[in-house]
């Protein structure tokens, strides 16, 4: 928890699914080179894990606050840069999961001024999900932007809505209907449903404890910038 999100955590081996220790460059089973996970991927995985751990009352190596504070190390965010930014996808999911874990997965609105850089990134890049035909990512963009205050009156939400309505499968799902991985069947469908939903918000969040974490984080990043 005293170290920013690392870039030397390998993906499982693509050939035999063997998991390898941090820092490994080749698979311990087959010797083939390993691909590294992005810092964003490692970080938001930890964010979700600690969020669930804290909620359930089981400490999983660190607390949610220990992980959230490293958000500053992930800024500034880069757009897809015409496909050149290999971290774009994980950047999007990092930011949407900041929103989800702060608003208890769709229960509270969040003031956009608490997350100004994240709000700007989401607005600037939503159309990229439409251009890529990625219903899953588009769902996360729209869901998060609604939590931060956009509504059907905003052109971005309307553009996303039009895309989703035009690309829903005959069975009501979204994504590739021939996909065999069940996660890739349900998650885009969940995304489409969430993006088109109007939530009955319980009010404005985040909780006082999370607000303190966020204010400390924004203060630290302001100090670093000036
Ligand atoms: Zn291997």
Same domain, 32 and 139: no
Same domain, 81 and 45: yes
Same domain, 16 and 97: no
* pLDDT score, position 1: 60
Q: How far is the CA of 79 from the centre of ligand 1 (A)?
A: 32
Percent of the chain with pLDDT over 90: 92
Residues 106 and 99: their CA atoms lie apart, in Å, by 9
The CA-based angle 117-146-43, given to 5 degrees, is: 50
Residues 13 and 194: their CA atoms lie apart, in Å, by 33
Same domain, 163 and 204: yes
In the structure encoding, which two tokens stand for residue 74, read together? 């992930």
Q: How far is the CA of 101 from the centre of ligand 1 (A)?
A: 34
Residues 120 and 74: their CA atoms lie apart, in Å, by 15
Q: How far is the CA of 148 from the centre of ligand 1 (A)?
A: 43
Q: How far is the CA of 8 from the centre of ligand 1 (A)?
A: 17
Same domain, 27 and 43: no
Q: How far is the CA of 15 from the centre of ligand 1 (A)?
A: 5
Would the ipTM clear 0.90, i.e. be above it?
A: yes
Same domain, 128 and 160: yes
Same domain, 31 and 44: no
Same domain, 12 and 68: no
Q: What is the mean pLDDT of residues 103-112?
A: 96
Listed residue (72, 82, 58, 198) closest to 132, CA to CA: 82
Q: How far is the CA of 14 from the centre of ligand 1 (A)?
A: 7
Same domain, 55 and 33: no
**Is the confidence at residue 122, as pLDDT, over 70?**
yes
Q: Which residues contact 20 (CB under 8 A, 6 or more apart)?
A: 10, 12, 13, 27, 28, 34
Q: How far is the CA of 7 from the centre of ligand 1 (A)?
A: 20
Same domain, 14 and 87: no
* pLDDT score, position 93: 98
Same domain, 65 and 174: yes
**202-223 pLDDT tens trace:** 999 999 999 999 999 989 888 8
Domain that holds residue 32: 1-37
Same domain, 66 and 144: yes
* pLDDT score, position 118: 98
Q: How many domains does the chain have?
A: 2
């Amino acid at each position: 928890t005293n170290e920013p999100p690392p870039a030397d955590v390998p993906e499982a081996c693509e050939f035999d699914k063997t998991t390898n220790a941090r820092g490994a460059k080749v698979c311990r089973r087959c010797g083939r080179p390993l691909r590294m996970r992005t810092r964003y991927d490692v970080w938001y995985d930890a964010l979700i894990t600690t969020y669930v751990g804290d909620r359930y009352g089981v400490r999983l190596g660190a607390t949610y606050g220990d992980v959230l504070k490293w958000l500053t190390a992930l800024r500034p965010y880069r757009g897809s840069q015409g496909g050149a930014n290999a971290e774009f996808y994980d950047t999007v999911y990092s930011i949407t999961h900041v929103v989800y874990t702060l608003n208890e997965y769709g229960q509270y609105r969040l003031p956009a001024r608490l997350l100004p850089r994240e709000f700007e990134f989401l607005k600037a890049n939503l159309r990229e999900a439409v251009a890529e035909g990625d219903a899953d990512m588009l769902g996360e963009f729209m869901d998060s932007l609604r939590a931060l205050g956009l509504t059907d009156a905003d052109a971005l939400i309307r553009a996303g809505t039009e895309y989703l309505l035009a690309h829903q499968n005959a069975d009501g799902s979204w994504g590739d209907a021939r996909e065999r991985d069940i996660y890739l069947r349900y998650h885009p469908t969940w995304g489409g449903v969430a993006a088109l939903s109007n939530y009955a918000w319980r009010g404005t969040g985040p909780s006082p404890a999370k607000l303190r974490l966020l204010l400390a984080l924004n203060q630290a990043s302001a100090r670093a910038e000036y």
